[in-house]
Structure 1
Amino acid sequence: MNNALLSFIIAVLFGIGTFLILRRDIVRVIIGLSIMSHAVNLLIVSVGVFSGKQIPIQTTDEVIPTSTIFIDSLKTGVLAPILNGTAPTQYVDPLVQALVLTAIVISLATTAVIIILAYRLHEEYGTTDIQKIKRLWG
């Protein structure tokens, strides 16, 4: 996918999320937070995914490219590629994927808690409108 198109999609998602967060209804605020978290996850993934297409650790006895020397054994203590400087191979950064996976789980848990709080507010006050809840609360 083109970087400009992906950046535009991320900007549109972030804008939609911001627009929904500024609404008066709590349910729309929750949806806006969810959309914004997805936009941020896409941004993080887009930063790390365009740096290469190969994994950084070789676990099989495949043909090794001439620009990279893999010493993937526990005897030597090296579990990552060693570049010899001729033509470095670009790799996908696995840390980015791990961070986004963690962010998705945290976002899911946060959204679940906020949905439960919104449900309790609706049970208690009979509305999810923030202005009406402020007036009813005192």
Structure 2
Amino acid sequence: MNHMILAIAIALLFGIGTFLILRKDMIRIAIGITILSHATNLLIVSSGAFSGDKVPVITHENTGNSAGFIFTDDLANGILAPIVSKGTEAIYVDPLVQALTLTAIVISLATTAFLLILCYRVYQEHGTTDVSEIRRLKG
């Protein structure tokens, strides 16, 4: 049930973002692009969130070798930790999607700041943020 609610929320965010991008006001277009980037971040996180239950961080509780895990590097034998021995099932959340989302959030912040500054400069120059009005003023 939670997967369905998340999927509906992501679809609504994509729909709202697309609706705002198709408007004539530049501020609404910038807000729509921001909402689309948040929807994309949610989609990326949701794609990796349901593949496991545990956090992929080595703590003091799981440093023992009783569960079949190897948590020490042995470069002479070509072992890079953590290694799961055969017969042991590891259900960890993929940390790659978290890293990609953090990178996307930073890029989204910079893009949103640039778009808002651009809208402000257009308003200073033309006195409006309406795209059709700016086209008419341009000639």
TM-score of the pair, normalised by structure 1: 0.88
Match of 1:51 in 2: 51
Runs of 4+ in structure 1 displaced over 6 angstroms? none
For residues 51 and 65 of structure 1, the distance between their equivalents in structure 2, rounded to whole angstroms, comes to 24
RMSD after superposition: 1.8
For residues 5 and 65 of structure 1, the distance between their equivalents in structure 2, rounded to whole angstroms, comes to 38
Match of 2:4 in 1: 4
Percent identity for Structure 1 against Structure 2: 55
1:1-138 superposed matches below 5 A: 2-60=2-60, 62=62, 63-64=64-65, 66=67, 68-73=68-73, 76-77=74-75, 78-138=79-139
Q: What secondary structure, in the 3-state scheme, does the structure 1 residue paired with 2:83 have?
A: strand
**Deviations 1:1-51, CA, capped at 9 Å, x for gaps:** 711110110000000000000000000001100000000000000001111
Quote the offset at 1:89 in angstroms: 1.4
For residues 10 and 64 of structure 1, the distance between their equivalents in structure 2, rounded to whole angstroms, comes to 41
For residues 93 and 100 of structure 1, the distance between their equivalents in structure 2, rounded to whole angstroms, comes to 12
Count of aligned pairs: 135
TM-score of the pair, normalised by structure 2: 0.88
Flag structure 2 segments of 5+ consecutive residues without an equivalent.
none
| Greater alpha carbon shift after TM alignment, 5-14 vs 85-94 | 85-94
For residues 17 and 125 of structure 1, the distance between their equivalents in structure 2, rounded to whole angstroms, comes to 26
Flag structure 1 segments of 5+ consecutive residues without an equivalent.
none
